[in-house]
Structure 1
Amino acid sequence: MEEPQDNPYVRDPPTDFTPPEDLEEPEAKTQIELLREAIRYHDHRYYRQADPAISDRAYDRLFERLETLEDAFGLRSETSPTQRVGGEPIDELETVEHVRPMRSIDSSGEQTDVRDFDDRVRDRLAEAGYEGPIRYLCEPKFDGLSVELVYENGALERAATRGDGERGDDVTENVRTTRSVPLELRGDYPSFLAVRGEVFMPKEAFQAYNRDRIERGEDPFANPRNAAAGTLRQLDPSVTAERPLDCFVFGILDDGGTGFETRLEEHRAVDRWGFHTDGHTEPVEDIDGAIAFRDRMLDRRDDLGYEIDGTVIKLDQLDACERLGSTARAPRWAFAYKFPARTEETTVRDIVVQVGRTGRITPVALLDPVEVSGVEVSRATLHNPEQIAELGVNVGDTVRIKRAGDVIPYVETVVDHAEDGSFELPDRCPVCESPIEREGPLAFCTGGIGCPAQLRRAIQHYASRSGLDIEGLGEKAVDQLLEAGLVESLPDLYTLSETELAGLDGWGETSAANLLSELEASKRPPLSDFLAALGVPGVGGTTAGDLARYFGTLEAVLEADEDELRDVEGIGPKTAAEIREFFESDRNRDVIATLRDRGIDPESAETADDALEGLTFVFTGSLEGWTRDEAQSLVERHGGSATSSVSGNTDYLVAGDNPGRSKREAAADNDVPTLEESDFRRLLSEYGVEP
């Protein structure tokens, strides 16, 4: 693409712009056209030549200026570079008919089949009386998703997936966000043009994208092809715009009869018109040249920035292709010479740490896709830091992959070390920057409720019976809230609206109103319930009650040092250190502060009396009209203790329906009185405690 002349935004562009309100519309129109021209040029330099002419910051300023002017003067255009940021979400993809059939290609990995293809081409052309030359055009076989791109008067009109070859999904809005696809053609292009291309995700971008997904606690894509396909079929174009897609164009479906004689001429033309084409496409004189091309590409395969799984051999002369025609499934003038599948040995491209729902850190090796026992594998779990050190594995190493039980991929051994040493676990969580702590061979993020990777589990626990017992906020509901983007942190639960909730699949106004009512009711929990709901390491219901009774207020618990925590009965040095570390975390304190800003005000334990002081209860079986947790909390709020097991220090075992046998036997062995639920309620009344 030639550099635009007399355009001030191409080289050392000014970024100190006149406010839009000080511009007349003609002046704004001129600036908009210059900005569009410059940005298209910069996109070409960046995405096609990998040779940017200006800094990213300068580019962003030009792009923002163009958006500002288009909005201020109402001058948006479908072909403007600003339209690549994504449009409105849609309900579903429509199906459209292709301009010309998009057939698949016969393929094989055997050289004899390739030579048989050449024999068939020559025999059929001889039978048809063709006397011209027989040459081939060879190109890589891209491992992505085929698309049809349709242009009218040089502007992108439509984009569709291959589908069944006759009809495909309309993905126009998503393709508009792919910067290597021109929204406007350049040069001497035909008034109507339909081309075929392949949308793909570059290797480096794929690994980086998977790394981000794993660090966010999401499942990675299996390979770049799946990543491209899933991205292109997104219903929200703004999601597609955020993902690193690229597109090579390699063929013309319909050009309105421009009169090209060879596929090589077509290839050069689509490059002139502004499409991204692969630089390895090469004409050869005969089938031996095509086989040699394939062998060279196989050697270069690992050095390419994108995945290929073979080469495509096409008859170059278009009139000869016309005579050969096609079967119902595939053209007779093309053949794909496939590469052998990568088996077992591959390269480690990256090692990323995955943060599980419990905070456990798991190292994961991201691999060049490799076939293992008939399944394509692109990642392998490394389990823990000790295994990494034992294997001596690091980024860049060639490794052998196996599948445990033919299911779970793992690194069996390092075949070739790229450098000395092994991968070392980071000191801090890649998601929330909290310290990572080791427990034997395992490692854990200490971020707790402040770590986004642990958010799903944190919300589920917060709403569970062990927490604040928020009805209607089970696992499915939590997943829906997270997937819809309605909740990005624990306090976001208290900003939900009835309209947002009612719009979720399977919800309605009644269920939405019920959940909001439950959330409102949870704003004044007993201090012990709130402490248990936070998921503090080592703090279950009993310990939460002990903390609440000892310190009385949330502020006192937050400020308690380790020595003070160890003064609480049942809390040892390890648990005291974990509690202190949890509450010293800036992220956790921010979450708690935001919860309080949104109305969460735990009841101080000081407001309860000490009527049951000195009495220890154990509960077994199910109670009528209340949960065991509620009964335990009641006892603790009035100075008593509730423990999980019967001992000589237990005063009463409270037995509901279907009581546990072992606790009853332990009570008998320790001469501990057993109370039925009615007896327990009567005892509470005697001490002045209302159940």
Structure 2
Amino acid sequence: MADEGIDDGQRDDRRGGGQHDDGDEDADADGDEGGGTGADDETETARYADPDENPYVTDPPTDFDPVAELSESTARTQADRLRAAIREHDYRYYVEADPIVSDATYDALFDRLVDLEEAFDLRTEDSPTQRVGGEPVDELEAVEHAAPMLSIDQTTDPDDVREFDDRVRRELAEAEFDGVGDDWSLEYVCEPKFDGLSVEVVYEDGEYARAATRGDGTTGDDVTEQVATIRAVPGRLRGAPDDVPSTLAVRGEVYIPRDAFQELNRERQERGEEPFANPRNAAAGTLRRLDPSIVADRPLSVFFFDVLEWTVGDAGTDAADETDAADETAGDAPERPATHWAELDALESFGLRRNDRTELVTDVEDAIDYRDRTAAIRDELEYEIDGIVIKVNDLAACEELGTTSRSYRWAFAYKFPPRTETTTVEEIVVQVGRTGRLTPVALLDPVDVGGVTVSRATLHNPAEIEALNVNVGDHVRVYRAGDVIPYIPTVVEKRSDGPYEFPETCPVCDSPVERDGPLAYCTGGLGCPAQLERAIEHWARRDALDIEGLGPETVEQLRAAGLVESLPDLYRLDREDLASLEGFGETSAENLLAELDASRNPPLPEFLAALGIPDVGAATARNLAESFGTLDALLEASEDDLRTVEDVGETVAGEIREFLDGERNRETIAELRELGVDPEPYETETGDAELEGLTFVFTGALSVPRSEAQAVVERHGGSATGSVSGNTDYLVVGEDPGRSKRRDAEDHGVETIDEADFADLLADHGIEWPPES
């Protein structure tokens, strides 16, 4: 094993020193000669990990010694090196788009770091392993920007761009700006105008400090935890702390790549959720989620393109002399460059991702040509753009030009025309998703929209049809933006009577259709073939019956072969059935049959979670099992009975009762029980009841995950709920709490305590805190 056989002393010899913490190691690696964008690139002075010093950069070993055999000193050194190497690999992959290791190798290094941090308690706040997202926040706080994030005047007319150029030249000449003359060349930086969500990201002494949305330009929403999960946003800047500004606030655009957007929408539709209309909405909606772990699961990326604040040292300065950050002497913090172009070079040297299609031009006609060239390749890009941005390159000239109350006077947006055409609706069909959601689709007389032939467009839901008043035969406008599903924003000429009449029964199984707000659903449930694959996948999920080997590909094979036409058919499969499937041998067939057989008598909570009852996840399923004890008792429970269950309100109670009353669902459950699939009655554990009668709510970060704190309360007879009410006894406030729960506690007169008070209260009841792992 290339690195694992080296003892502590040898490891230290290879790094050129003794033990260091995470920051020391990175300072050593960053300060050595060489570095930059590749193992052989000696043009940059900063990198996260030097291949000559760190074995996990180039051709890293992945056959690690068992964690249990390592000393703490060895584990700490290895973890330090892994953190530095993973930062380098993140930079190569997410910023330079030039990875030097395979995904499998990266995953092996990442998993090893996770194992080391957990086994030896080596986790650091800025470790790459912490990008999975922290505890949910109660609400997004408002924060003030380092500098105003203003808008940009825009046009689709090239003459307006030329007028912008004339105005800039005239105003600089009138101000007798240095260098203006008859042969003066006015440089512009041209870049794509990204169609995403603008954010401010702030670094203090090279470390990621905070992030905020643009908001009203002066203040925005605090999305520090959410942005921290984006892998293209480095947790620390490249270079030692003395080699970067003491404060650097940059403006960037968060977006979702096109391919990832399509996959995200496909998954949403399979879950019966409304698809995002476009990548920008998807990015904006994701970044404002209160749960950072959800943001971490979304494929967000970012480009950086402006400096809002650049402070050097305690006093801070914005330099007027152009300085290329790549030429700075190690240990000397770079002054702010004198041009936008040099700023972009500096940002790149710090590890912040810039767009590779940005260009520096010396004439407004070149800027117009850049826009035309960019428009020609916009559909080939991995991200959505709606034009270009033209900026005066000289920062001193920008300072002279100034701003208006809402926009920069030194920048101008030259937009692309909207991609819309008109055509006729030939037919409207209704598709049934895997969760039963019905989606109407308009089949169109094919029309060319922005160079792409469009023959179908989504109508989203019945409410959208009614709002548009659209029907077969109508002349409509079709809008398309890149790879976004085309949609109809308006009816141009009404040629039919009234809107399309949405079907009252499912076009697949003929079950009644029910409306839920603007959406429509098939009530066929487990008996609807269109929903079957999704129902089976849900049945086998880890948080349901956990049937290994019954993933989406296998389910699709079973359905395509006609072997499974209903959920109970899973328990009619035999060895010969499975052996007929491609990729199934005798062993894999036996394994799947054994998994299915083991799922015949599941615990009642897991069985209820597996059924796919609307709004019944693992927690609600457990509460239902605790309240009713047996499946038969639940099947006979009234809505009033259901409403007595914790976290089951009027709406959820109605959905549960409606699902259980569904004829096909009842038939499916009965058939499963006839085949021997019958859940075990739920037996309430007789545990300690020291906290019986007490209800707790938690907010902010504790020394352990909040879920663990809730489990302690429940294990000792208390209740832990997610919201404050008049029945709450204590609100436990951790670090960085949200405001809404504290405000609710004040309104309801609920006592607020911190974690130390909580520990004392538990100690009074003989309960240890924090709990043992």
State if a TM-score over 0.5 links the two structures.
yes
Asked whether the equivalents of residues 138 and 312 of structure 1 are also in contact (C-alpha less than 8 Å), the reply is: yes
Residues in 1 aligned to 2:430 and 2:99: alpha-carbon distance in whole angstroms: 29
1:64 CA drift (Å)? 1.8
Which runs of no fewer than 5 residues in structure 1 stay unpaired?
A: 372-376, 388-395, 410-424, 439-444, 452-472, 499-509, 520-529, 548-552, 560-588, 600-691
Partners of 1:47 and 1:368 in 2: CA distance: 37
Once the two structures are superposed, residues 235-291 of structure 1 have per-residue CA deviations (whole angstroms, 9 ceiling, x without a partner) of: 111000000000000011111231412110001110111011110000111111111
Say yes or no: does 1:163 pair with 2:215.
yes
C-alpha distance in 1, partners of 2:447/2:385? 12
2:365 match: 288
Is 2:297 the partner of 1:242? yes
Change over 3 Å in CA distance of 1:220–1:353 after alignment to 2 = same
The C-alpha deviation readout for 1:672-691, integer Å capped at 9, x for no partner, is xxxxxxxxxxxxxxxxxxxx
Could you give the per-residue CA deviations for residues 181-232 of structure 1, whole angstroms, max 9, x where no partner exists?
1111113322211111000001110011001110111111111001000111
- Are the structure 2 counterparts of residues 402 and 196 from structure 1 closer, same or farther at C-alpha, using a change threshold of 3 Å? closer
Residue 236 (structure 2) aligned to one of 180, 184, 189: 184
Q: Superposition pairs for residues 554-633 of structure 1, below 5 Å?
A: 558=674, 593-594=678-679, 596=680, 598=682
User: Partner of 1:206 in structure 2?
Assistant: 261
Equivalent pairs counted in the alignment come to 464
365, 372, 376: which one pairs with 1:299? Answer: 376
2:760 maps to what in 1? none
Residue pair 2:672, 2:678 contacting (<8 A) in 1 also? no
**Superposition pairs of residues 80-229 of structure 1, within 5 angstroms:** 80-132=127-179, 133-187=185-239, 188-229=243-284
1:262 corresponds in structure 2 to 339
Q: Does 1:231 align with 2:361?
A: no
Q: State the one-letter code of the partner of 1:47.
A: Y
Q: Please tell me the residue identity of whatever aligns with 1:17.
A: F
Aligned residue type for 1:243: R
Separation (CA, whole Å) in 1 of partners of 2:134 and 2:448: 33
Residue 252 and residue 196 in structure 1: after superposition, are their counterparts in 2 closer, same or farther (change >3 A)? same
Contact 1:87 1:237 in 2 (8 A): yes
In the alignment, the residues of structure 2 paired with residue 305 and residue 220 of structure 1 have an alpha-carbon distance, to the nearest angstrom, of 19
Amino acid at match of 2:218: E
Does the 8 Å contact 1:435/1:447 carry over to 2? no
| Residue matched to 2:351 | 274
**Matched-pair contact (CA < 8 Å) for 1:214–1:354:** no
Deviates more, 1:18-27 or 1:307-316: 18-27
- Within the alignment, does 1:355 sit opposite 2:433 as a pair? yes
1:339 aligns with 2:404: no
Gaps in structure 2 of 5+ consecutive residues: 1-36, 40-49, 180-184, 312-317, 319-334, 424-428, 451-455, 463-471, 473-481, 493-497, 501-528, 537-551, 571-607, 629-639, 650-656, 684-773
Please tell me whether the aligned partners of residues 277 and 484 of structure 2 are also in contact (alpha carbons under 8 angstroms): no
In 2, are the aligned partners of 1:364 and 1:379 still within 8 Å (CA)?
yes
Judged with a 3 Å threshold, the aligned counterparts in structure 2 of structure 1 residues 399 and 144 are, in CA distance, closer, same or farther, namely closer
Mapped pair 1:2 → 2:49: no
Whole-Å separation in 1 of the counterparts to 2:297 and 2:672: 45
Aligned residue in 2 for 1:429: 533
Contact 2:433 2:530 (C-alpha < 8 Å) held by counterparts: no
SS of equivalent residue, structure 1 residue 312 = strand
Larger Rg: 1
Q: Is the 8 A contact 1:345 1:399 kept in 2?
A: no
Q: How does 1:456-467 map to 2 (within 5 A)?
A: none
Question: In the TM superposition, what whole-angstrom CA distance separates every residue of 1:620-668 from its partner, at most 9, and x where no partner exists?
Answer: xxxxxxxxxxxxxxxxxxxxxxxxxxxxxxxxxxxxxxxxxxxxxxxxx
Q: Aligned residue for 2:644?
A: 514
RMSD between aligned residues: 4.6
Measured after TM superposition, the shift of residue 380 of structure 1 is 5.4
Over 3 Å counting, the alpha-carbon distance change for 1:514 and 1:285 in structure 2 is same
TM-score by length of 1: 0.59
Q: Say whether residues 1:315 and 2:392 are aligned partners.
A: yes
Letter in 2 for 1:212: E
Give 1:455's aligned residue: none
Shift of 1:17: 2.9
Residues 532 and 558 of structure 1: is their aligned pair in 2 closer, same or farther, counting only changes over 3 Å? Answer: farther
**Is the CA contact (8 Å cut-off) linking 1:345 and 1:398 kept in structure 2?**
no
What is the one-letter code of the residue matched to 2:407? A
Aligned letter for 2:249?
A: A
- Decide whether aligned partners of structure 1 residues 426 and 235 sit closer, same or farther in structure 2, where only a CA change above 3 A counts: closer
1:352-402 deviation digits (Å, cap 9, x = unpaired):
97526548798899x99989xxxxx9845799xxx9xxxxxxxx9999865
How far did 1:428 drift? 7.8
Q: 1:135: Cα distance to partner?
A: 1.1
Q: Deviations over 1:460-515 (max 9, x none)?
A: xxxxxxxxxxxxx9xxxx86556xx745xxx66634689xxxxxxxxxxx998823
Does 1:35 find its partner at 2:67?
Answer: no
CA distance in structure 2 between the aligned counterparts of 1:74 and 1:40, rounded to whole angstroms? 20
Structure 1 residues 536 and 480, CA gap change in structure 2 (3 angstroms): closer
Equivalent in the alignment of 2:307: 252
Partner of residue 23, structure 1? 70
Aligned partners of 1:448 and 1:536 also within 8 Å: no
Q: Secondary structure at the match of 1:331?
A: coil
SS in 2 for 1:515: coil
CA separation of 1:151 and 1:368: change in aligned 2, threshold 3 A:
farther
Would the alpha carbon gap of residues 215 and 557 (structure 1) be closer, same or farther in structure 2, given more than 3 Å must change? closer
Amino acid at match of 2:247: F
Structure 1 contact 97–168 (Cα < 8 Å) conserved: yes
Maintained 8 Å contact 1:203/1:306: yes
Mapped to 2, the partners of 1:146 and 1:332 lie a distance apart of 19
Residues 370 and 378 in structure 1, CA contact (< 8 A), matched pair in contact too? no
**CA distance in 2: counterparts of 1:167 and 1:398, whole angstroms:** 31
C-alpha separation between the residues in 2 aligned to 1:186 and 1:254? Answer: 18
CA drift at 1:70 = 2.1
Give the deviation of 1:447 after TM superposition.
4.9
The alignment partner of 2:80 has SS state of helix
1:623 is aligned to none
Contact 2:251 2:305 in 1 (8 A): yes
Deviation at 1:122, TM superposition (A): 0.9
Structure 1 residue 33, shift from structure 2 partner: 1.5
Corresponding residue for residue 119 of structure 2: 72
The aligned residue for residue 453 of structure 2 is: none
Deviation at 1:67, TM superposition (A): 1.8
The answer as to whether partners of 2:148 and 2:217 remain within 8 angstroms in 1 is yes
**Distance in 2 (alpha carbons) for counterparts of 1:63 and 1:239:** 20
Taking only the aligned residue pairs, the percentage that are identical comes to 47
1:429 counterpart letter in structure 2: E
Q: CA deviation at 1:327?
A: 0.9
Change (3 A) 1:18 1:408: farther
Shift of residue 79, structure 1, vs aligned partner: 2.0
Gap change, CA 1:28 and 1:328, over 3 Å in 2: same
Question: Residue by residue, what CA displacement relative to the aligned partner does 1:293-313 show, whole Å, maximum 9, x if unpaired?
Answer: 111111011000000001000
Contact 2:457 2:487 survives alignment (8 Å)? no
SS at match of 1:429: helix
**2 CA distance for matches of 1:175 and 1:57?**
25
